[in-house]
Structure 1
Amino acid sequence: MWTFFQEHVLGMKWLNELVGEGLTRLGVDVTSRWGGSLQFFLYDVIKISILLCFIIFLISYIQSYFPPERSRRILGRFKGLTAHIISALLGTVTPFCSCSSIPLFMGFTSAGLPIGVTFSFLISSPMVDLGSLVLLMSIFGSKIAVAYVLLGLVIAVLGGLVIEQLGMERHLEDFVKQAHVPLAESETMSNQDRLHFAKEQMSETFRKVFPYVLVGVGIGALIHNWIPESLVTQLLGSQNPFGVILATLIGIPMYADIFGSIPVAEALLSKGAQLGTVLSFMMAVTTLSLPSLIMLKRAIKPPLLALFVAICIVGIILVGYLFNFLQQTMIF
């Protein structure tokens, strides 16, 4: 039953066959490079769009119970390790990319929450949202998806703890420390209001995310049908012990969310790249994009920014090598 759900509900294998049959009837040879690329592109765009709308609607509905004011109050009740864990978990039901997470991070920090706790949120939010869990399950399976999310939460919690222990509050910009945003009560919403909010969020977020989906699927289609398997294996396969580091460094300058990076990772994996290597690429793209770092630099000083980047890079690389090791021992 679970295999059927994973392959035909989440993975939508029937859709791939339907697209292939439709193209064939239109005279397209799906066994050719161009035909195969077109089938890959149409199938992935339709599949991801369907899952994306459903996921955004569901998460937005859940998010309606956790507006910024309520999230601040929840985080303010906890101390120590528990606060970091709750902060990282709250990050899974908030915006889908790092740029949209930064204003919330600044608001939490201005409200007087410990800096380490807010960084646990900042790391977790773009890296391990609930949408990534569902999409990863649709492509890589439940074991990989759950392990990815759990390890992403570990990076977020440990990263926040390190920043807290080093006492990095002094490296916040003055305007953030002096803002003192009050912890206002959240507005009570009816169920109809929540459904309307979820619908609006779905529409708005999909419009923002869809261009990155098109680019990501397009790149994935090119890799899937045009890039020689030997080249991908040589650079990102087991033959290159530095493949994880290379994939992480390549991912940092790119800007996309989890939905745009998954098709690229799927194509790389099918061409012989190691599992941990492609997951490190995904984490780097979603967590350390240059636009988000530029925005973050406005709120924190260079030493804290450098520490944040270093923690994320080290954590992402370690996760990549761990997944590669588990893949070789046939756990996945």
Structure 2
Amino acid sequence: MIWDFVQNQLLGMKWLNALVARALGSAGVDVSSRWGGSLNFFIYDVIKITILLCTLIFVISYIQSYFPPERSRRIMGRFHGIWADCAAALLGTVTPFCSCSSIPLFIGFTSAGLPLGVTFSFLISSPMVDLGSLVILTGIFGARVAAAYVLLGLVIAVAGGTLIEKMRMDGYVEDFIRQVKGVDAETAELSARERLLYARGQTVFTFRKVFPYILLGVGIGAFIHNWLPQSWIEGVLGSGNPFGVVLATLVGVPMYGDIFGTIPVAEALLYKGARLGTVLSFMMAVTTLSLPSLVMLRKAIKPRLLWTFVTVCTVGIIIVGYAFNAMQFFIID
């Protein structure tokens, strides 16, 4: 009962949904109609995701203030082999960045001399998996789905980094990246007040950057939730289409969005009958392999390494999608 309260009322904010519905009803809006239901979905999800986003980014940024890039580099430098890839993937979970924002850190870690596999494990994990997405996924899909998503996301990050490292592709990093000198100076210790100011600044910066995508994602989700026929979604992304995972992944790759803006779309698709693995593959593709981030990444690495990265991530995401589809009835709460 306690966990149900946490999942439904604290994380899922079902009370907020009822409150918004009552407010719209008082204003004369019929929330059982398509337009009223779309408006209810939009207002509720925007407020819910905004509250969770700001709270989580503040907490995560405060924790992150203890691990600036130079300190993170030194910590990861203590690990070797697959353990270094695991450490980099775990570090990515506490960096609430989209794929484009992760690339400057990737460049910094690479120029500092960290192994290529380690930096790619971070690059995959950072946009795909973070603590904020874990909490929001728990509130929408349940604890088992959220835990499975994070675990398999980390598996993709570690496996992808390890495979790229084994392929010995260090020569496909652009020369100027290797020529950048790392910073060896000790990072000044921050006071509690400075950490709070840093967390507040990161929260404001992230919110301003992410909020347009939240609006876009929730708007698309509201349209899918109330306007697209369930039979159409089931036919394209349901169990009747064995290529649904591949289709969702390929559609998601050229798009650009933050995971906080992608979750409402996934929620609406799942509600309409899409398979769980198909929906989560779409989320992973959007957040990890967005076209703008690939354009930025091309400035740092050569085409062969870029296509290797895209191929490894795409194949991993598709495999995870089919695995989730097979486990759907066992992990949905």
2:80 maps to a residue whose letter is K
- TM-score w.r.t. the length of structure 1 is 0.99
The alignment of Structure 1 onto Structure 2 pairs a total of residues equal to 331
3-state secondary structure, aligned to 1:31: coil
User: Aligned partners of 1:221, 1:331: CA distance in 2, in Å?
Assistant: 25
Match of 2:258 in 1: 257
Contact 1:276 1:319 in 2 (8 A): yes
Match of 2:224 in 1: 223
5 Å-filtered alignment, 1:89-108, equals 89-108=90-109
User: Aligned partners of 2:203, 2:328: CA distance in 1, in Å?
Assistant: 35
Aligned-pair distance for 1:184?
A: 2.9
Aligned-pair distance for 1:94?
A: 1.3
Structure 1, gaps ≥5 residues long? none
Match of 1:309 in 2: 310
Write the deviation string for residues 40-77 of structure 1: whole angstroms up to 9, x where unpaired: 00000010011011011011101101111111111111
- TM-score w.r.t. the length of structure 2 is 0.98
1:10 maps to a residue whose letter is L
5 Å-filtered alignment, 1:138-149, equals 138-149=139-150
Contact 1:72 1:183 in 2 (8 A): no
Match of 2:194 in 1: 193
Match of 1:327 in 2: 328
2:12 maps to a residue whose letter is G
RMSD: 0.8
3-state secondary structure, aligned to 2:93: helix
2:302 maps to a residue whose letter is K
2:283 maps to a residue whose letter is M
5 Å-filtered alignment, 1:1-332, equals 1-328=2-329, 330-332=330-332
2:234 maps to a residue whose letter is T
User: Aligned partners of 1:318, 1:187: CA distance in 2, in Å?
Assistant: 44
Contact 1:96 1:258 in 2 (8 A): no
User: Aligned partners of 2:242, 2:184: CA distance in 1, in Å?
Assistant: 49
User: Aligned partners of 1:226, 1:327: CA distance in 2, in Å?
Assistant: 25
3-state secondary structure, aligned to 1:93: coil
1:69 maps to a residue whose letter is E
Aligned-pair distance for 1:183?
A: 3.2
User: Aligned partners of 2:100, 2:237: CA distance in 1, in Å?
Assistant: 28
Contact 1:88 1:153 in 2 (8 A): yes
3-state secondary structure, aligned to 1:254: coil
Structure 2, gaps ≥5 residues long? none
User: Aligned partners of 1:257, 1:211: CA distance in 2, in Å?
Assistant: 10
Aligned-pair distance for 1:308?
A: 0.2
Displaced runs of 4 or more, over 6 A: none
Contact 1:111 1:183 in 2 (8 A): no
Write the deviation string for residues 80-128 of structure 1: whole angstroms up to 9, x where unpaired: 1111100100011114201000000000000011011110000000000
Q: Percent identity?
A: 69
Aligned-pair distance for 1:206?
A: 0.4
3-state secondary structure, aligned to 1:79: coil
Contact 1:112 1:180 in 2 (8 A): no
User: Aligned partners of 1:93, 1:166: CA distance in 2, in Å?
Assistant: 28
Contact 2:174 2:300 in 1 (8 A): yes
User: Aligned partners of 2:128, 2:17: CA distance in 1, in Å?
Assistant: 28
User: Aligned partners of 2:96, 2:58: CA distance in 1, in Å?
Assistant: 12
User: Aligned partners of 1:2, 1:172: CA distance in 2, in Å?
Assistant: 47
Write the deviation string for residues 236-293 of structure 1: whole angstroms up to 9, x where unpaired: 0000000000000111111001000000000000000000000000000000000000
Write the deviation string for residues 197-254 of structure 1: whole angstroms up to 9, x where unpaired: 1011111110110000000000000000000000000000000000000000111111
User: Aligned partners of 2:119, 2:154: CA distance in 1, in Å?
Assistant: 13
Aligned-pair distance for 1:180?
A: 2.7
User: Aligned partners of 1:255, 1:108: CA distance in 2, in Å?
Assistant: 24
User: Aligned partners of 2:83, 2:191: CA distance in 1, in Å?
Assistant: 31
